[in-house]
Amino acid sequence: MPKATLIIDCFHVIKHLKDAFNHLRVKEIKHWKVSHHEEKSGKLMGAFTMLIEKQTNR
């Protein structure tokens, strides 16, 4: 495909970033729960939730 045009749109860039962030969020919270740090995992979940809400309210 030497003449193919590469198109990047903001929607899909943001979607991939949000998906990667969400994957990391779930992985870290599971790690803290397995490590028996329920209090820390709850705080981490709250911090991620605040960050996500702050970004969607823009």
User: Which tens digit of pLDDT belongs to each residue from 12-44?
Assistant: 998 898 889 889 888 887 887 777 766 766 777
Structure tokens given for 49: 């939730």
pLDDT at residue 22 in the model: 84
pLDDT at residue 58 in the model: 58
Instruction: Map out the domains of the chain as residue ranges.
Output: 10-57
The distance from CA 40 to its chain's CA centroid, rounded to whole angstroms, is 18
How would residue 54 be classed by pLDDT, with cut points 50, 70 and 90? low
Which phi and psi (to 5°) does residue 7 adopt? -120, 130
pLDDT at residue 55 in the model: 61
pLDDT at residue 57 in the model: 60
Give the angle subtended at the CA of 53 by the CAs of 28 and 11, to the nearest 5°.
90
pTM for the structure as a whole: 0.57
